[in-house]
Each structure stands twice: as structure tokens, then as C-alpha cells.
Amino acid sequence: MSQISIAQLFEDKKEKLKLSWVSGYEGNNKLLTDDSVLHNDKEAIGYLNFIQPDWIQVLNSDGINYLNRLDPHTLEKKINQLIQSNMVCIIIADNAEAPKSILALSNDANIPLLRSPYPSSEIIWVIRTYLSSVLAPSCILHGVLLDVLGMGVLITGESGVGKSELALELISRGHGLVADDIVELRRIAPETLEGRCPPMLRDYLEVRGLGILNIRTIFGETAVRRRKNMKLIVHLQNGVSGDQVALERLPLSNLNQNIMNVDIRKVIIPVAAGRNLAVLVEAAVRNYVLQLRGIDSTKDFIERQEREMDNSTETKN
């Protein structure tokens, strides 16, 4: 489960938004989790809202003026609504002075109260983008994630099939390593999966017989990537086993693998002695790029064959 504390949010965006802590520091450990944000009607962050309060409320000058105009009874009712909403933080925009009612709310309910000189729209935009990345749905896959010709390619297969050796060959051909063995995936957009490497394994590639190699040290800075959007899965499969459909010589339909409700194109490459897998992976990437542009070699070939058959039939007649 992905989560972020208000203290961590403050540290990460303190310089970007010039945040200062006004009150309610005792609530610095309040958490926002992906489960609470995704499975709730509340938005992660928004303007002051009493009807459907967001997890993080941004209070600008208009909101402050509205609170100051309320009579004491109505103001108390509104403040109680905010307390019962279980919000985790309040941010005051435009370096405005916090109303006494909001200060009291922060101190009594231990709700962090922050201030920024930036306008509310800027604060919401920055933090919403930040939270969408930090709290994105995530999973872990086994394989090697590479940047091949600018495209994120995940190499999968059984243990010992040669994933790391193939990755080393591709790196030596100028491509980049993102993660080996453990690949952390985050769904940062409805149709986008971003792959990263756990900090402990960053820059390292394990190759049987050679041990653990530091790719950054051996090949230089350009041989590694911090993150990459995954667009293609290349599955290495022993040629003597596996699904005959998957090993079809002329596949008429594309294979996809669904990961966190995102369909990722999948290519299965049989492994056999004498096959240049690095060249095959590069060809698979180039072919997929062409397909994205509307050029499908298999369909073009079938259409050409059908035209020749039609011409032959007409000639005979």
C-alpha cells in the first residue's frame, strides 16, 4: 500500500511551494494512503469545501473572507463539519493570516496548518500532481526493465532462461538499464505504467558466472535510467516447451498482458542456440513502433498474398 505522511509532504514540497508550518505539528504523522484516496468520494486536495471536504483543504483569501463573514453559530457548525470530515491538512495560500477559527481547529484537532505565498491554484496543481505519483497504484514484477530505443521494455521468463545476459548485451549496444530482478511499477495515469528500481538494487545487474555488476561504473552514466514508462513485454520462452499458440509462426492477433487494468503489448521469443536475442528485441521494439503508427507488416503481407491469389484466379478465368 502506498502512503505519505503530512511531514513527508511538507519536506518534499517545502522548497517548491515555500511552505511554513503554522500550527498543528502534533498531527504531522497523519497519513494519506492510496486506498483512502482511490476508494473514497473525496478528492486528494481542493478548495475549502464544507459539503464534500477534501483530504487536504486549501484556504485562499476568498475562503478566509467567507469564514470571517459567518455568524458565530454558523461558523461553529462549519468548523465541526471540517472536524468530522477527517481531513488531514489545511494549507493557507497567498501568505494570508489564518482566521482564529482555523487556528483553533488546527490546535484542538491536531490538524497540520501550513502556509504558502503561492496562489491556491498553484498549490493545488503542484500537490495534486505530486500525490498522483506518490499514491499511484503499484505492484512488483520479476524481470529486467530496459530502455530500448527510447521505449520501456520488460524482459520476463523463467529463472535461468537468460534475461540478464540479454540485458547485458542490449546495454553493451547502447541501451539503458532501469531495474534488474525486481521492477516496481506505478500506474501514474489511466494508460501509463512507470517502472522503477528499488534503491537497494539501483545500477546493479546480476549475471550468472560474473556475479553482480555495477552498470553505471562499467558503462557510464548514460547506461542507466532512473525510471521509464513500460510499453512492451518481451517474454523469453524455452523453445522445447510452452504453449503452441504462443509460439505460432505467423500470429494474426497481438498478445497483451493486463497489469493493474492497463493492457501492455507482449511478444514471446523462443530461446534456442544460435539466436541473436538482442537483435530480435530491437526488431520487436521497432515493429511495435511501426504498429503504433498504423503500419502492420503481418497484415500488409496477408493483404499482398490475397491480392496475388485474386489476380491468379482472374488470370485462370
Catalytic residue list: 142, 163, 181, 249
- CB neighbours of 284 closer than 8 A, spacing ≥ 6? 232, 234, 267, 269
State the Cα torsion 164-167-172-175 to the nearest 10°: -160
- At 192 the three-state DSSP class reads strand
- CB neighbours of 115 closer than 8 A, spacing ≥ 6? 19, 20, 22, 91, 92, 95, 96, 98
| CB-CB contact of 142 with 181 (8 Å) | yes
Number of H helices, E strands in the chain: 10, 16
| CB-CB contact of 231 with 151 (8 Å) | yes
Question: How far are the Cα atoms of 127, 165, 192, 202 from residue 133, in angstroms, in the given order?
Answer: 10, 32, 11, 20
| CB-CB contact of 229 with 218 (8 Å) | no
